[in-house]
Copies of this chain bind each other. A is one copy, B any other.
Amino acid sequence: MTVSRAANRPESVSVETRGKIFDAMESLGYKPNALARSMRRRSTHQIGYLTADLTITPNAIMAQSAGQTFAEAGYRQIIAISNGQLELEHKFLEQFQSGIVDGMIPMISDESSQKTVDLLQNCGVPIVAIDRDLPFTVDAVLSDHRAPMIKAVKYLHDIGHRDIALLCSPQTMRPGRIRSAAFVEAAQQLGHTDPEARVFSMPQRPEEAFAATQFLLSRADRPTALIAAANQLTFGVLQAIQSLGMSIPCDVSVIGADDTIVSPLFRPALTMISRDLVEIGKAAAGLLIERLRQPETAVGRILMLGSDVVLRDSCSSPQKKK
């Protein structure tokens, strides 16, 4: 009908007819069916966003920021939560392949899964990676995890620490890999003993960090400082230190990661590795929107965003052990 024209290019319909059409749409409560429209246009204006866990505030910040950017550009965001489970992740990625999304931002939880990689590579829509290394050319927004980790280690070294432990997310994801490599590199350069043995990778859950910290701090040769290189690990470390009746920074210095509103509210206020999470989400969404508008752009654009260490009160010189 002429209705379609009126809705999409009003200027191509006579004022008179247009008026009648709008009146009728109003009185009938007519809404164009988005499905039929998408089918015809071969575009749903939906974006798939896969993440492990939205209750991890930094993840929520990135997702929300991306979602806002998409909304402003006329796209809807579908958030799929994998809970870190590989099978769920595959299920969602397969769903995204059935034509319901125009693009994807997949924050996968295991870069080493061949099936995940295959699903992404053959998904048929543009994707933008956030902080993930994929074995094929993609657009990506990456955080510089190396510089702040080196800075953190140096800072602890400068105030006297020689025995620092790192708790970080799994080696199957970029942040864990880069952060642990940078940690080892920096500690070695500063002459610390066997830093590799002081790296502990674990899923990003407080319980994991709780157990690891209890174990580490119960030993006679316990480290004098802990770096918790993920948001939820930071909470687990704090829990464990409190459960042991130890205090920060007297008994142990702590540096956390992924600063949010609560970090400065802890006593002592937490020194954190911090990055602009809103900017990351926005940048990723921006890259994807650009590509959807100009599909010819060469794939492989990489945006590297900086991050830094915010000094507060959770680190001090190590005390002599009793």
Which residues in A have some Cβ–Cβ distance to B below 8 Å? 29, 31-36, 38-39, 44, 46, 53-55, 57, 60-61, 63-64, 67-68, 71, 76-81, 83, 88, 94-95, 97-100, 122, 206, 235, 238-239, 242, 261-262, 264-267
From A72, which residue of chain B is reached at the shortest CB distance? B88
Q: Distance in Å from the Cβ of A258 to the closest Cβ of chain B?
A: 12
Contact A235 B206 (CB under 8 A): no
List of B residues within 8 angstroms of A60 by Cβ: 54-55, 57, 60
Name the residue in A80, A81, A122 with the highest tally of chain B Cβ atoms < 10 Å from its Cβ. A81
Contact A99 B262 (CB under 8 A): no
Complexed CA–CA distance, A261 and B234 (Å): 11
List of B residues within 8 angstroms of A64 by Cβ: 53-55, 81
Known contacts being A83-B68, A95-B76, is A206 close to B36, with CB within 8 Å? no
Known contacts being A55-B57, A71-B88, A265-B242, is A31 close to B79, with CB within 8 Å? no
Tallying the copies of this chain within the complex gives 2
Q: Distance in Å from the Cβ of A76 to the closest Cβ of chain B?
A: 6
Given A64-B81, A68-B83, A235-B265, 9 extra CB contacts under 8 A: A33-B98, A35-B44, A54-B63, A57-B60, A67-B80, A76-B100, A78-B79, A206-B261, A266-B267
List of B residues within 8 angstroms of A55 by Cβ: 57, 60-61, 64
List of B residues within 8 angstroms of A32 by Cβ: 98
Complexed CA–CA distance, A71 and B80 (Å): 9
From A265, which residue of chain B is reached at the shortest CB distance? B238
Contact B29 A122 (CB under 8 A): yes
List of B residues within 8 angstroms of A38 by Cβ: 35
Complexed CA–CA distance, A83 and B53 (Å): 20
Contact A34 B100 (CB under 8 A): yes
Contact A98 B266 (CB under 8 A): no
From A37, which residue of chain B is reached at the shortest CB distance? B98
List of B residues within 8 angstroms of A54 by Cβ: 54, 60, 63-64
Selected contact of A100 from candidates B35, B77, B79, B242, CB within 8 Å? B35
Contact A35 B31 (CB under 8 A): no
From A79, which residue of chain B is reached at the shortest CB distance? B79
Name the residue in A100, A239, A242 with the highest tally of chain B Cβ atoms < 10 Å from its Cβ. A100
Contact B206 A99 (CB under 8 A): no
Could you name 25 residue pairs across A and B whose Cβ atoms are closer than 8 Å?
Answer: A31-B94, A31-B98, A32-B98, A34-B95, A34-B100, A35-B99, A35-B100, A36-B39, A46-B78, A54-B54, A54-B60, A55-B60, A55-B64, A67-B79, A67-B80, A67-B81, A78-B79, A79-B79, A235-B261, A235-B262, A239-B264, A262-B262, A266-B266, A266-B267, A267-B267
